[in-house]
Structure 1
């Protein structure tokens, strides 16, 4: 998987790997979501777009929903891979969460879900803690622990603090489109920054 070398150990030691055949299926899933939304992702369409047989797709995934979850996880790994090292201070951590949020919203697949299928985004990202969220939580917890050593983040279990930090950011990102008439982009980022900083401040 091309993204693997971009990741550093603190981002999670157990990164999934997809071979070339699986990557063709995931690329097909990305394209289907962008063009048709989640309703367009079926095993038949994945087979057609990837040029692979249905049995080949089924060898790696149980159903289309399973493929979608893998595709979304791969995109989260790519976004995390764009960060060279975890932050080591509260200011750096808040900056990184805001940068992650911006890249997440700009992502072709996640952006499509946020704009056109927010209920699907909720189903895949909020109703249960899946692999994508666990990857993000590991990234956040690593940075939180480092910033605690720096003294700029309050004491506490890093993973517990990370859970609430993720919930704050996820809620802000999910609700962004519904509050654009009430708050502009600059104010939205300013208030999200204040909320994140307040959660972490000693």
Structure 2
């Protein structure tokens, strides 16, 4: 029975993604999602208390799908490359483009006002990787949570604002400059 529950949840989230891509978050309703998923609205409410919670779960699922878990880099260059690859994957998500286009106030809420589940999860993953890099001796000293918080801000800003600077940073330039920013921020400095 647990498999059926998981399948229903995935089906509803898939339907929600299709609706958001077609209409944006503001114009997506519980009825639209239920209809597309082939379930009743009451079924939706068995999994999520409201549409906002369902859509938050959708965003979290989509972001976590492209964020690698565990593992560790063997060098600062590999660490920075991994950060850039993940940021690039997030940047390329159709959901991110659609939200930027149709629901910019949602973006600003998660940039200016509050941290979401996705951001907290990504921060935890970055902090764990920073700590591994410190233990391996290629990332500078500092509290991993603080370093990860700044890396989250750097990556989030680069992802969100990339279209604003597209005339100066083609995608390959964007990746190269973000890699330099990450590596430069984490590099061990010779204070001598």
Q: Which structure 2 residue ranges, 5 or more long, are not aligned? A: none
In structure 2, the residue matched to 1:65 is 52
1:138 counterpart residue number: 124
Aligned partner of 1:12 in structure 2 is none
Cα deviation, 1:112-142, whole Å, max 9, x if unaligned, reads 2235543323334653112111211121111
**Is the contact made by 2:66 and 2:86 (CA closer than 8 Å) also made in structure 1?**
yes
Cα distance, 1:191 vs structure 2? 2.1
Aligned residue pair count: 184
What residue in structure 2 maps to residue 101 of structure 1? 87
- Output the CA distance in 2 between the equivalents of 1:184 and 1:171: 16
* Bigger radius of gyration: 2
Give the distance between the partners of 1:123 and 1:148, measured in 2 at CA: 33
Q: Judge conservation of contact 1:89–1:146 (CA < 8 Å) in 2.
A: no
8 Å Cα contact 2:70-2:125 kept in structure 1: no
Change (3 A) 1:126 1:30: farther
Say which SS state the counterpart of residue 67 (structure 2) adopts.
helix
Q: Structure 1 length as normaliser, TM-score?
A: 0.83
TM-score by length of 2: 0.87
| Matched ranges for 1:92-131 at <5 A | 92-124=78-110, 127-131=113-117
Counterpart for residue 44 of structure 1:
31
SS in 2 for 1:104: helix
Q: Does the aligned pair in 1 maintain the 2:72–2:133 contact within 8 Å?
A: no
Are 1:177 and 2:175 matched, yes or no? no
Distance 1:107 1:27 in 2: 14
String of CA shifts for 1:42-94, please: whole Å, max 9, x gaps: 1111111111111111122121111111001111221124x672324321111
Q: Secondary structure at the match of 2:168?
A: coil
> Following TM superposition, by how much is the alpha carbon of 1:38 offset from its aligned partner in structure 2, in angstroms?
0.9
Q: Is the 8 A contact 2:25 2:102 kept in 1?
A: no
Kindly indicate whether the alpha-carbon contact (under 8 Å) linking 2:26 and 2:103 is maintained by their aligned counterparts in 1: no
Q: Which residue of 1 aligns with 2:184?
A: 198
Is 1:32 equivalent to 2:22 in the alignment? no
CA distance 1:57–1:128, shift in 2 (3 Å): same
